[in-house]
Structure formats: structure tokens, C-alpha cells
Chain A
Amino acid sequence: MSGGATVQAAPVPARARRDSPGRRALRRFLRHRLAVAGLLVVALFVLGALLAPVLAPYDPIATSWTRIRKPPSELHWFGTDENGRDVLSRVLWGARASLAAGALSVGAALLVGVPFGLLAGMAGGWTDTAISRVTDAMLSVPFLILAIALAAFLGPALENAMLAIAISATPIFVRLARGMALDAKTTEWVEAARALGNPPWRTAVVHVLPNIVPPLLVQATLAVAEAIIAEASLSFLGLGQQPPHPSWGSMLNSAQRFLGQAPWMAIYPGFAIFLVVLAFNLLGDGLRDALDPRSRGR
């Protein structure tokens, strides 16, 4: 509300306030028990990553020749790895690489993809054709293969892996934003905004963008899940986080060599990936049900 100080806002009746679209969406989301569980798990992982320095019982990098490949015990809940490092501490610190890769790369993809998609949808004509064809071209290479190729050419480093994932995730958001902009363009409120003489960029930012936030949010949540798997895959191939710094993917890579002797090295980092990806997927499904009334019951 931008009513200004002189206008005395009439008290909103309690019932009307309770029934605002946001509240209704929140209620639908909270009814979705699995989605709430997903949100909780995501929150736990974020906390674990942020508090890794406090929570981790050991230094994740310090090696110890006396504690090589020890099975889970009271001292080391998740056991130790081939260099005597505590697996639990590495899983906690590794959450940083995974969550950062998920959040930052999808954030970057949104920041680049949405403006281009809006531009294509609003402008139409040659601009649209050019942007759409580039999007089509990028989407015709499977996500992971594109990310691997980009990371391979950029060189092995976590930042490069994130950049590669961000680039690979961008075309989906371009396509989504373009489609939504095309939809919104035919609605009365956008027509009204244009009739009032708003310049196209203002119509796009003020009138179209807010209306396409819900589907973007859903897609972004699901994209984070995919980005986390991609980061783990790249790190598994040695293209992401570089040793000795921990990442779930690279932990699984070294675990594979000791599968017979130290299965715990493979079980815990992989389970962490599974759990956080599952949580983001549940969250995305729940948000879809809550924010998009059309898809309910699907």
C-alpha cells in the first residue's frame, strides 16, 4: 500500500485479511505436510552448512595416519576416510559447496534468464526469434552434458562448476519467463497498463513480473535440486570442488575405491545428496500446489 500519510487507511476487516491470496497460498502450503517436511530438511541443511565450523566435531581437512578408514563409532559417528578424516565433519562442510552451488547458480540463472525471457515475450518480432533460437539451441544439449563440457573447458574449480551449472540452467528460465510474459500480455491489466502510457519496460517490471513470480519460484526450487545433483556430479568427476576441500561428490569419488573396506565413506555423503535433493523436490511440489490453483490435485 502506497497510500501516503494523509490518507487514513480504513481498518481491513479481519476476514478479508485472512483471505488474501498470500495467506491462502500459505495455508495450502502448510496443509501439504510433505512440503513442510521438505522445508524443514532444507532449513536443517542450511543451518548445518552455516554452522559447520561450530558443529563439525573435527577439522575436515586434517589427516590422521592413526585413524584411517575407521568404521562409525562414538568418536566418529560416520566413520573416517582413507586419510583419517572425520566423515561427519566433511559431510557438514561439504554441505556448503552443494548448497552454495545450488543457490548461487540458480540465482545467477534467474538473474540472466528472466530479463531475457521477459524481453523476448514483451518485444516479440526479431528480438523474440533471436532469443528463442539461442534458448532452443542450449536446451538441445542435455543439462548435465552441457555443464560437463563447459566445466571441462573452463577448467576444474568450484567457481567454474557453478558458472557452468548457471549457464546450463539459464535457458529454462528464459523459456518460462517468455511464455508467462506472452500469457500476461493478453490480460486486461497489462493492456490497461499499456493504455495508460507506461513504457514497455515498466509494464514488464511492474505489471508482468509480479504475476510470474509464483511459477518462477516453483521452477527455481526444482532447479536447485538439479543444480545440487549437477555440482555433485561435476565434483565426482573432479571438475568441481578441488581436494582437500570437502564436497559430497568428490567424497563419493574416493569412496568408490574403498567400497569393500569402508562402505560408510560412500553411504553418508550420498545419503546427504539424496536427502537434500528430495527435500527441494518436495518443497517445489508443495509450492506448485500452493501457488498455482490450476495444478491442484495433479
Chain B
Amino acid sequence: MWMWLLRRLGQVAPTLLILSVLIFGLQQLMPGDPALVMAGEERGDPQVLAAIRAELMLDRPLHEQYAAWLWRLVQGDLGFSWRIRQPVGQLILEKLPVTLQVGVMAFLIAVAIGVPAGVVSATRRDRPADWIANGVALAGISTPNFWLGIMMILLFSVELGWLPPSGYVPLTEDWRQSLLTTIMPAFVLGSGIAGVLMRHTRAAMLGALSQDYVRTARAKGLPERVVVSKHALRNALIPVVTLGTIELGRLLAGAVLTEQIFTIPGFGKLIVDAVFNRDYPVVQGVVVVTALIFVLLSLVADLLYMAINPRLRAA
């Protein structure tokens, strides 16, 4: 187990290193003088320009710039936003909990809809319930997050007036208001993932239901409910848990537009605002953090897979 983890980490290290080169390379795509672009509105201030030039070591060769950038990155320094005049790392730390709250809610919604729907559709294969579940899942996957969000605001805020169309109240301030402001974005984010989870669950359940141990359980005369929930589902959930963990990372991408629509001041809104303001260090920092979270999650997914799959645990 420890050997395996070490080997897995050995694989992750070069991936992260290459990733750092790619993200550093983003800077090279910028047209013109990076210092001028990065300074943005502050471009008239020679002090700011000098500070950026010094920070990015723009007078040094490219590989030295990269080495210095990477060294700061390893120490947890993600750069400085000249627009907001704050370290990027601090900005991201401030925004992440908001996204985490919406993300956890979204994931709960996705699991609550996706897994039962997958089970129902697998056990009633090729019958109306299966068609409906498949259709809804496909619709969930095909609906752009931001359009669903706009349509929900139109229905629940503009027409019915039940929910606030935008804004965010922290959980610690007023949990009731907090839930009211986050339920729509969470549903929007969760709906797409619910569709993906439903498809994974259905496929895994179909596989499990055709196994010998399910036939044995049925032959023993166990009620179908027990066969499905205890024998088939528990095994079918193994790949679903793994794939679900990866989907968790995709929440971050979904958060970008969803938070923009509902003006939720989270991680996704941060990158959008940074893009609008041409705040490049923030864009770069957000990509770094996203990639780190993603790599970490796939590591967790592998560990979970080992932990819940008894055949692998023994090995």
C-alpha cells in the first residue's frame, strides 16, 4: 500500500512539473510587454512597473524567470494581484470556502438524484422508468449550466419571487438566508453531475446484476430489494465512488459560470473577474490551484478505490 502510494506520487511529480511549465508558458501568450499588461490601469505608475519587472525578473532569461517563479510557487507564493493589491494566494483562500459550500450542496443534490435514478433505470431496464431516467440524464448533461441558471432565475426569482436572484450570505452569518441564496446555484451545478452519476451508476449496476453472486443471492430466495441494495449496489458503487470523486473536481469548472450568473463571490467569480480585469496573476494562480485540487482528487479517488475494493486491499 505504501509502496503503491510512493509510486503513484512518483508519477504525479513529473505531471505537476510539466504543468508548471505550461502555466508559466501562459504568460508568453500575452501580446506586448507583460509588465504593461499586468499593471493594467496602473500602467502609468513607474513604481508599479518596476516592481512587476523585478518580481517577474523580466530582465533575466526565460529559464531563470521560470525557476524563480517555480521557487516562489513551491513556497506557496502565487504572485500578487496589482488590480486588487493583494497576494493571489490570500484571495483564493478567501474565495474557496464559498465555492466549497455551493460545491458540497451541489454534490449532495447530484448523489441524491443520480445514484437512485441509476439504480431504478438499471433494475427496470428498457422500461418507461429507464427511458425517462436516461432522457432526464441526457438533458442534464446537454443543458449549459449558465442557461439553466438564467432560466431558474427567470422562473423562481422573476416570475414566482420565491428565491433571491443573486447575492450570497455566508453560512456563519445566517444559515437560512445562506441556503436560500445558494440552493439555485447548487442545483444548477448538481444537475449536470447528477446526469453523469446516473449513467455511471446504471452501467455499473447492469454489470453487477449480471454477476454470479447476484444469481446466487436470488436463488437463495432473498427478496429482490435485498439483492439489489445489498449485493448489486454495494459492488456497483465502487467505480461510481471513484468517478464521483473526479466529478468533484469538475465542479470547479462548473462554478466559473454558475457563480457569475448568481453573483456568488467564490472561486469561479474570482477567475471571471480576473479575466474581465486582465488580472493575469490571478488567472494563473487560479489555474495552479485548480490543477492541484484536481491532481489531489484523482489521488484520493485511487485511494478510495483501493480502500473500498476488497480485492485490491488484500493485494
Give A contacts to B, CB under 8 Å: 133-134, 136-138, 140-146, 148-150, 152-155, 225, 229, 232-233, 236-239, 252, 255-256, 259-260, 263, 266-267, 270-271, 273-274, 277-278, 281-282, 285, 297-298
Q: Which are the 4 A-B pairs with shortest beta-carbon distances?
A: A270-B147, A142-B253, A278-B142, A137-B19
Chain B contact residues: over half helix, strand or loop, or mixed? helix
* Closest CB in chain B relative to A156 CB, distance in Å: 9
Q: Is the CB of B31 within 8 A of A155?
A: yes
A285 CA to B137 CA, complexed, in Å: 13
* Closest CB in chain B relative to A278 CB, distance in Å: 4
Q: Is the CB of B151 within 8 A of A150?
A: no
Cβ proximity bits B214-225 to A, threshold 8 Å, 1 near / 0 not = 000000000000
A-B contact count (CB 8 A): 134
A270 CA to B295 CA, complexed, in Å: 33
Categorize the interface residue count of chain B.
Answer: 35 or more
Q: Is the CB of A150 within 8 A of B275?
A: no
Q: Is the CB of A153 within 8 A of B146?
A: no
**Which residue of B is nearest A144, CB measured?**
B253
With A133-B14, A140-B291, A252-B147 as contacts: A145 and B253 at CB distance below 8 Å: yes
A142 CA to B294 CA, complexed, in Å: 8
A76 CA to B213 CA, complexed, in Å: 62
With A141-B291, A145-B253, A298-B206 as contacts: A237 and B29 at CB distance below 8 Å: no
Task: Point out the residues of chain A lying under 8 angstroms from B142, CB to CB.
Answer: 225, 274, 277-278, 281
Asked if B226 lies at the interface with its beta carbon under 8 angstroms from chain A, I say no
A282 CA to B139 CA, complexed, in Å: 10
Q: Is the CB of B253 within 8 A of A259?
A: no
Residues 5-25 of B contacting A (Cβ, < 8 Å): 14-16, 18-19, 22
Task: Point out the residues of chain A lying under 8 angstroms from B295, CB to CB.
Answer: 140
A281 CA to B151 CA, complexed, in Å: 22
Q: Is the CB of A149 within 8 A of B283?
A: yes
* 15 more A-B residue pairs beyond the given contacts A150-B29, A232-B146, A278-B139, with a C-beta to C-beta distance below 8 A: A133-B15, A137-B291, A138-B22, A140-B295, A141-B290, A141-B291, A145-B256, A149-B283, A152-B275, A153-B29, A232-B144, A237-B272, A259-B153, A266-B154, A285-B138
